[in-house]
Amino acid sequence: MQPLTRDDLYSLEHYADIRADFRARVMAHKKDRNVPIGDHATLYFEDRLTIQYQVQEMLRVERIFERAGIEDELGAYNPLIPDGSNWKATFMIEYADVDERRAALARLQGVEDRVWVQADGHERIFAVADEDLERSDETKTSSVHFLRFELTPGVVQALKGGAGLRMGIDHPAYEQEVEVAPRVRDALSADLD
């Protein structure tokens, strides 16, 4: 997928006019791009459209219309667009209760490095986490991480051929795995060259 440029974005005025329709389109698109892993973790897979929405919303909220500001937002968000050989995802650890979340984030130190994907007949591929900046420290992990899954050509071919797909987390404090629905697998496979 190509990175976004200023030419791909709507002006603030035009975006205001189409925002409701654009948002509805993106939300429908996202339904096939997230994978809950157990009760407290979800992978939200990004692509060009989801990132365009994020950029448009940031420009809108921050009232950014100058070239330099737009370029800064593109520079921050473009790295989250997959490049055809990988998937990029926002990984969220979700606990509604603040105290429960705080305790879980302490127990789950390093969980971001234990998230994996696996096509039938292939080895697990573990995520590369937080390439932009460190989001964990010596006492806890963050509730949000950015992950990249670098897929081998054999895995890409298998997925495009309809192979089953599993995702999971292999961490002593949170061991879960799920079978990915075919519609989600197909949506994610469309990101691959």
Q: What is the pLDDT of residues 112-147, one digit of tens each?
A: 999 999 999 999 999 999 877 666 777 899 999 999
Neighbours of 118 (CB within 10 A): 19
DSSP string over 8-34: GSPPHHHHHHHHHHHHHHHHHHHTTSE
The confidence score (pLDDT) of residue 55 equals 97
SS3 content of the chain, % helix, strand, coil (to 5): 40, 25, 35
Mean pLDDT of the chain: 95
| Residue % of the chain over a pLDDT of 70 | 97
Residue found by looking up tokens 């050509």 in the block: 153
The confidence score (pLDDT) of residue 130 equals 82
Domains of the chain: 1-31+48-81 (no CATH), 36-45+84-193 (2.60.40)
Q: Which residues in the chain land under pLDDT 70?
A: 133-135
Output the pTM of the full model: 0.91
The confidence score (pLDDT) of residue 133 equals 64
| Three-state DSSP class for residue 129 | strand
Helix (H) / strand (E) element for 41: namely: strand 41-45
The confidence score (pLDDT) of residue 1 equals 79
The confidence score (pLDDT) of residue 139 equals 84
